[in-house]
Structure 1
Amino acid sequence: MNLVWIFSLIVSLGAFILGAIIFLYKSKKGSNSIFALLCILLGFWSFSNLLSFGSSNDIQILFWSQLTIVGPFFAGPLLFLFSTVFPVHQSISRKFLFYLFTPAFLSLLFVFSRWNISSVSSGNESLQFEPGLLYIVLFIYLMTTVSGAFYNLRLSFLQSDDTLIRSQIKLVSLGFICLTALGGGTNLISPLFFGNSQGSIWGPPVSLFLFIIFIGLAILRYRFLNIRLISVHAISFFIAFILLFQAFFSVSGLELAFRFLFFIIVSILLFFLSRSVAHEIKIKNELANLNVELSRTNRKLENLNNRLQVLDIAKSEFVSIASHQLRTPLTVMKGYLSMIGEGVFGPMSSRPLRDVMNKMTRSTDRLIDLVNDLLNVSHIESGKLDLYWEHLDVGELASSVVSDLAPRASVKKINIQLNRPSFVVGKVKSDGRKLAEVMTNLIDNAIKYSPENTVVDIFVYQKSGDVFFSVRDQGIGVDPANIERLFQKFSRMDETYVTRVEGSGLGLFVCKKLIDMFGGRIWAESRGKGHGSTFTFALKVVES
């Protein structure tokens, strides 16, 4: 019996200390206060159960046996209330609290009545008593509140992505399962359905001991309720107090000196242990705060990125619509200008008038090229570019493009030389119209950026299963450090000469995207400013 008393006293005292630690932590979270009150009530339940077995007469046994019902009556709603505010704190209405705790407070009116326990007699390690209607109410009340609490905890576990929170919920749930299964089975189900409380002298302290173990693990390992540091201080103080208390009961001076020395050594070790834990917790809290800030920053960046993507899509749609609307009138304008230049509406005898018409035609052509580039960029970025695949002879296609651009080159007195091998070059799989646009863009750039009376060399050749198309000019050249920028959107070199050349900065960007879509590669080479440039793309040969 002494062993039961010692064990029950230690466990009850442990529950009171745990509740006091949590309460004195002064956390602003409601979950801390609720859990502290729950621990204190559980300690009172275990202690009153112990006194019901340790009392010397039937009146005291009946008194303490009737009091044991108070703890469970309030523990059920407190457990349910805790599950609603942990791990995420939520506001609770006063109306909800009123309905939740009304049965518990009403039960206090009948604690010392026959509605609770009518008679009791003690055995060796069990009590024989007749439970009243209040036990039935308690059973229904606890089943409702505890089931709701476990449902809330399970829902929080499934909804949480934080492994720390999930570990806390696991250990807290295991602690509550031990309480409800072992403690409730011996102190509620056994008296209610079997007419006795056999084994209840061990049930409450053992279930409460297991509960404290699981909660202690949650506190020390997973920062449950964030009271790890104060828990370590309290445990250290409790151990030191017990050692000092034992020293005063020494029977000799030597034993007193030994125990006092042992107390000092242990106190020093506990002091350094507390400092180490405090430092560790400080570092972990800083890392946790940094992680929270990083997560918050990542969420902001994701939101900004999503907004930018929406704006980019809206921009692409606007450019696409605007370009479509511009292309039709520009095509009509070009057609009428061509008809006027050809004299369909009458002869143009005045030379100044013909010069103006030529300038208008060239400006219209530039606008059409710009609109086509914008449309290509819009379709490429939105993934709506339609490609018509076919097997093409790169040499024949290059010859056709060169013939179309020869008049433009002749204006600047630039000679375009197409160099093709004597043997037949293998065919490539591509879209003929789009591949012609790439060739046109590369040759046209060579014409634009080359001085008069120079040569633009074009090479078509096959090597290692690839067909190469290369354009080499004698123009202004490119700084090797800036070559990568050439294929970026709206990128143009910061050269004085370049500012005098018309262009949107989209041509090479479109060329790269198209060649990438064809499964090829494109690049530029230059020895530097004033040494000309070479632009080349390569496509895989289609197997026969």
Structure 2
Amino acid sequence: MSPANLQANFAKIRKKILRRALQELARGADLRADFEGQVERFNDLFEQVLSTGDTGWLDAVIHDWVNAYTQTDIAEGQKNASALIAFLFQLASETARDALGKGEALELIASIQPAFIYALDKAARLEMESRVSYFTNEIASVQQKLERLDRSKSNFISVAAHELKTPLTLIEGYTSMMSDASASPGQQGSMDLFLQGVRTGVQRLRQIVDDMIDVSLIDNNMLSLNSQPLWLSHILDLLHKNLEETLKERNIELEIRRFPGSQAWLYVDPERLYQAFLNLLTNAIKYTPDGGSVVVNGRTLPGFVEVTVADTGIGISPEDQALIFEKFGKLGRAELHSSSKIKFKGGGPGLGLSITRGIVEAHGGTIWVESEGYDESKCPGSTFHVLLPMRAKPTDPRLEKLFGDLTAFKEENHVEKETRTDPAAA
């Protein structure tokens, strides 16, 4: 059969091929229109192959189809370009048998088969290259993560040794002095001072151990919440009061603004939420130079209240922003560690922000950070965002029986306020 006759016979069946391909593969108007254009383009080029005998006409469309196959498609094992080409050959063969005479159909199928084999081979090779590139990058990414984890492990061992050694040294030193003082009369004042030093060391040790336990609970989804109705402003005001000495020591101003939602009733665990915001404020103070400021603000969103903690500190690099909520994600230098948690850039075991994220997520919320980058001279600062759901009822049915529905309380409280401020009611 001449090239012209082959081209003519293919032209007879191409619309049927397109119609069947659309029925089988395309779902939705947008996808249907795009897919129709792609198949029509392939068929146009395939007619050129039949006319000229040059399979190179198909190269461009094969490249485009393979390149459209994304990394997500590779990861999820989606159908690829070679599968589509094989399917089109199957449709062309079946349609030729149905629409053409037996002899014409067999001759057309025999003629188009080499071109489809060429297209399949080229698509398969390009896809293999794409897969090799994808998995090579994935392996490199995993390798980088493993190296980072290994560094984090080594850093944590070093930091943990310093963190634990400091309070132990305090306890050892003060107990030694207590032993000496106990042998001398009239040393009660010194004994009280020594006991306070021991208590400080024990408290720091307990805090480190508690943080490690909290991380373990969060990792195993075992962090339990004792939720009750509460105003956010109560927690924030208590934090301001308890941080007064720290703020004075570092000459840092903490401003807690009243914002919409700060006096909205929320079902939260007061102790855990206090712990989360204490970690955020401690972190802000730690990485803000003396004389700087920290501002707590917020707003309400549909179904949520957002709290922001913004500082005028040294900022966070984009690389650290991606890791800062991971365990050991932000470890300072071991030589900077001390029993003081608010020393400028003093670091810590790198668990605080990971615990904060776990607490926020356990409440059904989310947390993220924004910063223009790390710069100790310009101090671009950082802003942490905490998004918490505003619930009128606790998620635990047992607590709902205890506390009831806050919606009714809100309405009663609103009416009571209006009554107090309405002159006609007096």
> Which TM bucket (shorter chain)?
0.3 to 0.5
Larger Rg belongs to: 1
TM-score using structure 2 length: 0.44
TM-score using structure 1 length: 0.36
**Higher relative contact order, structure no. (Cα contacts within 8 Å, ≥ 6 residues apart):** 2
